[in-house]
């Protein structure tokens, strides 16, 4: 089995979080939060996909910030924070997840003076909206109103059930609505757990902008990453190729 080690300079380990350690990539795409090479931060500042216009950032959601990283279940089963994030969908770890987002609210200067926090609507068949619960705790901690104002225009499946990037994007496109007049809201932050294609946050942001919000940012607990991507971003190095 190929194993990797962290290149320490590329990471910050966050303290005071219960359970699994929370690590934050220091060098991230300034549009979508994807970890990038340190040298990129001094040039374009964006990842390959944003550079090609393949991420849904910039049109409705002005920028997406992410605190930590997430490995898909199929890739690895031993990344502890990823397990905690998956369990959060079922109602576990609510406090810790709100703390992680709270760290982001305090850290990313664009998120200061936010008027409302908005959770995306849950997928069909999921009555429990874990992001609304996490958002309530976050709201109390950071003193920003939680506005659970979006809903599904039509049912869509949970994003985690989609097989690939294109299906995920198509799954939610144009399917989030908001009935409330938000023309007095200058800045909203859409909160989410795992940011993969950016499409859930983007479509929620579209609904908010149609309702009158000026600026919408996204804040995710973790950005989906691959080992290969992190090696490419010079954040991990291979220490054993398994031969
Ligand atoms: Zn990007």
Q: What is the whole-number distance in angstroms between the Cα of residue 21 and the centre of ligand 1? A: 24
Instruction: State which residues form the domain around 122.
Output: 3-240
Q: What is the whole-number distance in angstroms between the Cα of residue 199 and the centre of ligand 1? A: 13
Its pTM surpasses 0.75 = yes
Predicted confidence at residue 240, as pLDDT, reads 78
Predicted confidence at residue 159, as pLDDT, reads 73
Quick: pLDDT tens for 94-145: 999 999 999 999 999 999 999 999 999 976 666 789 999 999 999 999 999 9
Q: What is the whole-number distance in angstroms between the Cα of residue 115 and the centre of ligand 1? A: 25
Q: What is the whole-number distance in angstroms between the Cα of residue 41 and the centre of ligand 1? A: 11
Q: What is the whole-number distance in angstroms between the Cα of residue 68 and the centre of ligand 1? A: 15
User: How confident is the chain (243 residues) per 10-residue block, as mean pLDDT?
Assistant: 90 93 97 95 92 89 97 74 93 97 98 97 76 98 97 78 77 86 98 93 96 98 94 93 64
Q: How many domains does the chain have?
A: 1
Q: What is the whole-number distance in angstroms between the Cα of residue 151 and the centre of ligand 1? A: 27
Predicted confidence at residue 153, as pLDDT, reads 84
Q: What is the whole-number distance in angstroms between the Cα of residue 64 and the centre of ligand 1? A: 9
Handedness of CA 38, 197, 134, 215 (dihedral sign): positive
Type and span of the H or E element at 195: strand 187-195
Q: From residue 196, how far is each of 6, 8, 130, 137, 140 by CA, in Å? A: 22, 24, 18, 24, 27
- 8 A C-beta contact, residue 120 and residue 61: no
CATH number at residue 63: 3.40.50.2020
């Amino acid at each position: 089995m190929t194993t990797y080690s962290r290149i320490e300079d590329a990471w910050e380990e966050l303290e005071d979080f219960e359970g699994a350690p929370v690590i934050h990539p220091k060098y991230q795409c300034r549009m979508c939060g994807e970890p990038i090479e340190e040298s990129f931060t001094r040039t374009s500042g964006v990842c390959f996909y944003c550079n090609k216009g393949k991420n849904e950032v910039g049109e409705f959601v002005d920028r997406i910030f992410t605190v930590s990283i997430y490995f898909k279940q199929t890739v690895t089963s031993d990344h502890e924070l990823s397990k905690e994030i998956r369990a959060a969908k079922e109602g576990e770890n609510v406090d810790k997840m709100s703390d992680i987002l709270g760290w982001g609210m305090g850290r990313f200067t664009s998120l200061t003076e936010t008027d409302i926090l908005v959770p995306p609507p849950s997928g069909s068949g999921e009555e429990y909206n874990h992001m609304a619960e996490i958002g309530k705790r976050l709201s109390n901690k950071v003193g920003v109103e939680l506005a659970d104002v979006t809903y599904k225009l039509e049912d869509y499946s949970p994003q985690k059930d989609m097989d690939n990037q294109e299906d995920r994007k198509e799954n939610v496109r144009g399917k989030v609505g908001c009935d409330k007049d938000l023309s007095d809201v200058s800045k909203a932050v859409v909160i989410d757990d795992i940011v993969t294609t950016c499409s859930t946050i983007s479509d929620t942001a579209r609904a908010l902008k149609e309702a009158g919000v000026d600026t919408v940012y996204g804040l995710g607990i973790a950005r989906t990453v691959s080992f290969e991507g992190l090696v490419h971003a010079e954040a991990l190095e291979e220490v054993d190729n398994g031969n």
